[in-house]
Amino acid sequence: MASLLIKRICAVFKRWDAQNATPCLNSKSTTKYKTLQWKSNPSLKKFILRDFPMNREPIKMKEGNLPSIEYTRTLTNRQILYVVELFGTFTCIWPSDPNSSKKQIIFRNIRWLFAMLNLTLLMISLTLALYYFRHDVSILMKSISEMTSVLEAILDLILCRMNNDQLQVLIGKVKTFIEVADEHETKAMERYMDRYKQFLSITASAYIICSILFSLAPFFSAQELPVDGWLPFTTESPGIYCIVYINHVYCIYLTTFCIGVDFMIVILFSYSAAKLNILKVKLRHVNDFDVLVSCVKEHQEIIGFVEDTKTTIETLLFKTNATMGSAVICGGFPLIYVSLICQPAQQNQSFTVMGKFILVMISGCTRMYVNAWPADDLQECSVQFAQSMTDVQWIGKPKKMKSTLIIMMQRSQKPFVIKMGGLLPSLTLEYFANFLTTITSYFMAMRTMIES
């Protein structure tokens, strides 16, 4: 029994060390693994150096009948998709599982109705504030900024529910690809996910921190509630105040985690771009007609997936850019007003107000950039794919192979441009840069007018 217990304890320590090991490269480009116990326990260090593989491959350990442990340096595609699914499940924007039971569907519908009820009540409160605080520019603009965020969450819930079946099919294809992809296909997908992963992680963390600050604002400032709404009744009663406060906090976190919609769109764009790159590599090695036909079919599937994606998310993209653009504009007006008009005695309060508006503006610009970046990459990837068609070895091949290749070239000449309806330009980084330039120019002109 004692020996069995010792083995189990050793297995637990091995499991802990495998999970906490972090790779770092030395000057000879070999990988060593550091753990927290190395300096304090030389014998453990010797054991790890002897037993752990000194390479860049994942560490796999197994002790008896215990499951094997695998450590990888970065999040895998499956883990990233799981995290985004958690965001979407909390906010009821993730497409439902086709294999869900009747009870799960009913519970999901109840959660969706509960979220919509809370957001609607807060929206009514903010709408009343527009009239009640119509003579206070600072509170008025702040209420409009908060109202655009709440409106964006409401529209997310409605649009994702309306497009549930389409999103279910698209996400299902991505999940299937991740499950059955070989090493080359997995790396192609990871290259795109790694490109956005760090920025998206920072964005999600910033949003969560921002929601925490808004939730705790009544405890550190003269503000009574987290959101500047107006209520037709008093909140002096502790019970009523707690109910209203919980409603505000819940809605704040709903609007925060609705960023999962943007992350879901990033995954769909990354999948399309990765499939194009995989097909581009395959075309370089085409040597017979049958392989070329399979590439044509795969290209057709990619085009169909992108078209379905554009149709499904076009309204979502228009909504995000319209609401977040309004939030940035409404957040900029109070900044100019507070910085120029506030009296010295109100400086402490004005700094708090300016900090909130700055957070609102940064959040709005970030949401727009999160969508524009992968959309621009997908467009660039489609252009590069069209240019790579000239690398296919077609000289000396049969006529039917040349004809098929010419048809494929013609179909690839149209880049994957992501549109946002007829009211806004195509979604690219150029569009985002033009938006920032225009808004900055208007704000500087307005500041000059107020000063003069």
The reported pTM is: 0.78
97 occurs within a structural domain:
no
Please check whether residues 53 and 108 belong to one and the same domain: no
pLDDT on residue 36:
43
Tell me the one-letter amino acid at 306: V
67 occurs within a structural domain:
yes
Please check whether residues 280 and 410 belong to one and the same domain: yes
Please check whether residues 12 and 157 belong to one and the same domain: no
Please check whether residues 109 and 228 belong to one and the same domain: yes
- The rounded distance, in Å, linking the Cα atoms of 174 and 187 is 15
Contacts of 68 (CB under 8 A, 6+ apart): 60, 61, 62
CA-based torsion, 306, 378, 414, 420: positive or negative: positive
Task: Assess contact for 371 and 419: CB atoms under 8 A.
Answer: no
Domain that holds residue 215: 102-451
Please check whether residues 50 and 113 belong to one and the same domain: no
- The rounded distance, in Å, linking the Cα atoms of 361 and 330 is 9
pLDDT on residue 54:
40
Please check whether residues 156 and 11 belong to one and the same domain: no
Please check whether residues 116 and 66 belong to one and the same domain: no
Please check whether residues 306 and 374 belong to one and the same domain: yes
Please check whether residues 45 and 168 belong to one and the same domain: no
Dmax (CA) of the chain: 87
pLDDT on residue 41:
52
Helical (H) or strand (E) element with 395: none
Region of 72 please: left (phi>0), alpha (psi -120 to 50) or beta: beta
333 occurs within a structural domain:
yes
Please check whether residues 128 and 35 belong to one and the same domain: no
Please name which of 65, 66, 51 lies closest in space to residue 21, comparing C-alpha atoms: 51
93 occurs within a structural domain:
no
Contacts of 223 (CB under 8 A, 6+ apart): 217
pLDDT on residue 340:
64
94 occurs within a structural domain:
no
Residue 234 C-alpha from the chain's centroid? 39
80 occurs within a structural domain:
no
- Quote the tokens at residue 61: 């350990």
CA-based torsion, 224, 225, 228, 230: positive or negative: negative
pLDDT on residue 296:
87
Count the domains in the chain: 2
- The three-class DSSP label of residue 62 is coil
Please check whether residues 403 and 362 belong to one and the same domain: yes
Question: Look-up: residue for tokens 């090493």?
Answer: 183
79 occurs within a structural domain:
no
Render each residue's pLDDT in the chain as its tens digit; 452 residues: 434 433 443 443 344 344 444 333 333 333 334 444 444 555 544 444 444 444 434 444 443 443 343 434 456 888 888 889 998 888 889 998 888 888 989 999 999 999 999 999 999 999 998 888 887 776 777 788 788 889 989 999 999 999 999 999 999 999 999 988 888 888 888 888 888 888 888 888 888 888 888 888 888 877 888 888 888 888 888 999 999 999 999 999 999 999 999 999 999 999 999 999 998 888 888 777 888 888 889 999 999 999 999 999 999 999 888 888 887 877 777 677 666 655 544 445 556 667 777 777 888 888 889 999 999 999 999 998 888 887 777 776 777 787 888 888 888 888 899 988 777 888 899 999 998 898 888 888 877 777 76
pLDDT on residue 194:
86
90 occurs within a structural domain:
no
pLDDT on residue 275:
92
Task: Look up residue 256 and give its DSSP letter.
Answer: H
Task: Assess contact for 62 and 31: CB atoms under 8 A.
Answer: no
Please check whether residues 115 and 40 belong to one and the same domain: no
